Amino acid sequence: MIFADSINIFAIFIGFRYIPSLYPSPPILSDIPTTVKDIQNFVTVSVDPLPQALVLTAIVIGLASSMFLISLILMYYRHYGTTDIHVSEEAEKYEEDIE
């Protein structure tokens, strides 16, 4: 988890642009630029949206995989009544001996 968070922060850091005289802005046009100079100014000031999208995707995938593993643990608990692997191994050996 810590490694994934570190990678996400690094990706956001890569997409950030720091220009001392200008504040970075989100890559959203509020109005249609009329001149080439307006477009160039927008490109120099706006941050890169790709790392933000990749970080959001990584967060969603991490959350989905965590929920999948939690659901597997819950199913395991419902079947064996415990999350202890050693107890379930003994139960399987006992079931094999009965058959």
The model's pLDDT over 9-56, given as tens digits with 9 standing for 90+, comes to 888 887 777 766 667 677 777 788 778 888 888 888 788 888 888 899
Domain hosting 66: range is 2-23+36-98
Task: Look at residue 81 in the predicted model and tell me its pLDDT.
Answer: 86
**Residues paired with residue 19 on neighbouring β-strands, in sequence order:** 22
Residue 70 belongs to some domain of the structure: yes
Please state the domain count of the chain.
1
User: In sequence order, which residues have a C-beta less than 8 Å from that of residue 4 and are 6 or more positions away?
Assistant: 58, 62
* Portion of the chain with pLDDT greater than 90, in percent: 22
Residue 30 belongs to some domain of the structure: no
Task: Look at residue 94 in the predicted model and tell me its pLDDT.
Answer: 65
pTM: 0.65
Q: How confident is the model at residue 96 (pLDDT cuts 50, 70, 90)?
A: low
